[in-house]
Structure 1
Amino acid sequence: MKWSEPMNLLQMSLSASVLILMAVAFRKFFSDRIPRTVFSLLWLLAWWKLMISAPMGFPVPAAHSLSGKMPDITAALPFSAGTWQTAGAGPDFGWNLLKILWLCGAVAVSLYIAYLHAASMKKYRTAILLKESSWIPMWLEQKRSFRRITVRVSDEIDSPLTYGIFFPVILLPKQTDWADKESMKLILEHEAAHIRHLDALKKLCLNISCVCHWFNPLVWLMAALACRDMELACDEAVVRAVGGENRKLYADLLVELEAKRAGIHLLTSGFGQSLMKERVLHIMNRKEKVSLTGILFSLAMVISYITVYGAMPSGTFSLNFRKDDPTLGGIFELYSVEEYQRIVDAVKVDRGEKDPDAVAMERDLNRLKADNGKGEYVIHKGAFLMETETVMVSFNPTIVMRPELVNRNVLLTAETYRNDMAEVAEILDDAIADGFLTEAQRKRVMDKMEENLAGIESAPVP
């Protein structure tokens, strides 16, 4: 995916927004029946749609159809019947302005998050290793984490927190009541759950999505609610570990710690990431065992969510090749008379009726009308738009699929078609360099043109 393309980014953001709204609705109406780990899965899918859902391959704008059909991208940018056409003398000012605005916003959000992180790390580096209690390291060893967990003490914080992805640290306030072993176990159980759940990594990913999609308020909402659900998932883990009979003790401890909390940084995991009322009610009302109804609700919710995930288009997508099309997977659709009439009219208005391209396209239109749907004369739609630093061009697949139908100033011969092949190869090479095309797709196009060339060479000379 090219993050510099505004349409790609906007399309991905809009597609993910639908999933975010679904997750918010599920969270609102089914919160008490479904474990928080299920909501974590929903947030993960929404994040994936935001950031990584566009697969590598031949990117095609997907905003007009979910069925994989090639949209009429030439309607906005008419091209002549030749191999390609220059669409402008310079880069599009509007899109470049959007790119600059997006980049400025992304840099500003990045700097803000980096500042908060650096300020927090500066405080955390003053923490010292735990010495007050000997049973805590042994207790952590029993948790069998695949990463070594370090416990430190700091006088810069007011409530426990966890930070670090590869080398996790549980940071405890200096004023902790070390004699209250039961409360200490509850605190450590909660923080250890954050480490097991990889919450520091999740929050880093959420921050990245906020940087890239800073203009979308739903992405910020997703980050906030996902952080709450991380806390609630850890609360559920604590209740499962210590038993339901201790849930009131845990809720009381939660209230006490929240009262002391001074603030938590975005890349840390602490007790204060969710509303107190929501957490206490969730702890007290949550059943120890998930009911059959909850399981069924979870399955139905995840299935419906994944269904919508698959249906929503990303910023780009890859088309599967079809056996009956040796070129680019069936994207060379045909113009109807009405469609091509609109293109011709637009060119006339833009360039004048005597423009050479307009005259050639008018001639093509008349031939298309005379064909009357028999299929002996067709006009293919453009395959893609290719934007470089100085020019945007459109590729005309008729030169590949039906070279005999292309209007020329010279006779179609093997020599003139070799020139066409050289021009097409140059365009395709540029498209590959810009990430618009794969080598395999280029080969399919050139193989088809080689086949055409062989037919032209073997044809009898008139």
Structure 2
Amino acid sequence: MIQVSRWSLFYAIILGSVLLLLFHFGICNRKKTIKDAITPYITLLLLIFIRVIFPVDSDAFYVIRSTKLLNAVHDLLMITLLYDLSIEKVLVLTWIIGAIVSLFIWNCSIKKDVQKTKIIKECASSLPEKQLSIATKAGLNANCVFVTDKIDEVVTVGIREYMILLPQTDYSDIDLYNIFVHEAAHIKHRDIRNRVLLHAFCCIFWWNPIFRLFEKDYSILMEYRCDENAVQFYTLSEKIAYVETMKKMTVVKLDYCYRYMEAGFAIASRKSMLISRADRVFINEKKNIKRIAVAIALEICLFFLSYAVIFQPYYEPEIEGEVAVDETNAYLIKEDDEYRIIIDDEDWGIVPKDDLKTRPYCRLEIRE
């Protein structure tokens, strides 16, 4: 029978965190070989997301039994605190409350900035005719591009219907085309929607700092991919102009969704980010399709292996007299301030309070 398992969730979070940390170090290296790694990295992020969202196990899976580490963790989680709440229940409640608060604060920020966007759009003007043709040539709907004095850098807004806002700056035709091509790549890949979903995921797992790194790394990869799509047919002189356009923008472009999300989405080192993007623009090597296919295949195998092999605590059945006592055949019933133990549907009497925190009693279910 397939069921949600706390141990499957722990396993998914730990495994995902380790892989994301390795992924982060790879991004920080900024080696040229990362050009072949963008697709496998994005695939890895998607698989980790699915694995954490669906933490299930089954009797058909291969179980690796832990008699020490996971037992100690299980015993710790089962320790009863105030008001008959175990440590596990307290942690779960804290997790749920924190996720609700995080999502609520983020939702309030979204509403506030959506209102700001409406005000900016009302004050914005359409592109001049010459610039409209440049936007159309770059693959954009020219009617969705506006100029405003309310912002100081190019931003893209909208999940279902997009809108690009340009500051009132004197851009050359080449700069405008480079900007529009880059923004068109963001829109084509629905990056704002993906980042919104990613941030919602990170709000739920608010207590894991590695998932916050996940947001930053995903943002970097999206910028790499958009640059790659923009310059794939450029000549060397056009690539130089593209890099010059990035320099003129003075700050690394951030999609508008980051303005109303929580802190942590902005790229930490903007200078190093610009250098890395510029270096990648001039890489002329073609992607190694075989290497990418092998990497993705290994990731998928690891994904299914994480379900097929699971780790669980294991206790040798303890004997009380000649009766084995474990969570499969025994439980506790709370009566006022006392606890009675039921073994194989038979009442075996009251358990002393001092023994409730010891094995096997600490592992048993408590019923009212």
**TM-score bracket for this pair, using the shorter chain length:** 0.5 to 0.7
The answer to whether the 8 Å contact 2:154/2:165 transfers is yes
Say whether residues 1:302 and 2:276 are aligned partners: no
2: distance between equivalents of 1:361 and 1:101?
A: 35
- Write the mapping of 1:228-243 to structure 2, written as runs, cut at 5 A: 228-243=220-235
Go from structure 1 to structure 2 and tell me whether the alpha carbon gap of 1:275 and 1:194 turns closer, same or farther (over 3 Å shift).
same
Go from structure 1 to structure 2 and tell me whether the alpha carbon gap of 1:160 and 1:186 turns closer, same or farther (over 3 Å shift).
same
- Write the mapping of 1:30-429 to structure 2, written as runs, cut at 5 A: 31-35=31-35, 38-51=37-50, 59-60=57-58, 68-70=61-63, 93-128=86-121, 130-142=125-137, 150-173=144-167, 175-177=168-170, 180-259=172-251, 265-266=257-258, 273=267, 275-287=270-282, 289-291=284-286, 294-313=288-307, 342-345=316-319, 348=320, 353=321, 359-361=322-324
Go from structure 1 to structure 2 and tell me whether the alpha carbon gap of 1:68 and 1:204 turns closer, same or farther (over 3 Å shift).
same
Give the alignment's Cα RMSD to 1 decimal.
4.4
Look up the match of 1:323: none
TM-score (norm 2): 0.68
Go from structure 1 to structure 2 and tell me whether the alpha carbon gap of 1:181 and 1:54 turns closer, same or farther (over 3 Å shift).
closer
2: distance between equivalents of 1:265 and 1:54?
A: 23
1: distance between equivalents of 2:237 and 2:86?
A: 65
2: distance between equivalents of 1:266 and 1:206?
A: 12
The structural deviation recorded for 1:205 is: 1.8
Of structures 1 and 2, the larger Rg is shown by: 1
The answer to whether the 8 Å contact 1:130/1:152 transfers is yes
Higher normalized strand content (fraction of residues): 2
Residue type matched to 1:18 in 2? V
The structural deviation recorded for 1:210 is: 0.7
1: distance between equivalents of 2:65 and 2:328?
A: 9
What percentage of residue pairs aligned between the two structures are identical? 18
Residue type matched to 2:118 in 1? R
1: distance between equivalents of 2:143 and 2:299?
A: 35
Look up the match of 1:443: none
Go from structure 1 to structure 2 and tell me whether the alpha carbon gap of 1:383 and 1:232 turns closer, same or farther (over 3 Å shift).
farther
The answer to whether the 8 Å contact 1:193/1:234 transfers is yes
- Identify unmatched segments of 5+ residues in structure 2: 72-79, 332-342, 347-368
1: distance between equivalents of 2:144 and 2:286?
A: 37
Deviations 1:364-391 (A, max 9, x none): xxxxxxxxxxxxxxxxx988999xxxxx
The answer to whether the 8 Å contact 1:168/1:195 transfers is yes
The answer to whether the 8 Å contact 1:55/1:316 transfers is no
The answer to whether the 8 Å contact 1:159/1:257 transfers is yes
TM-score (norm 1): 0.55
The answer to whether the 8 Å contact 1:23/1:42 transfers is yes
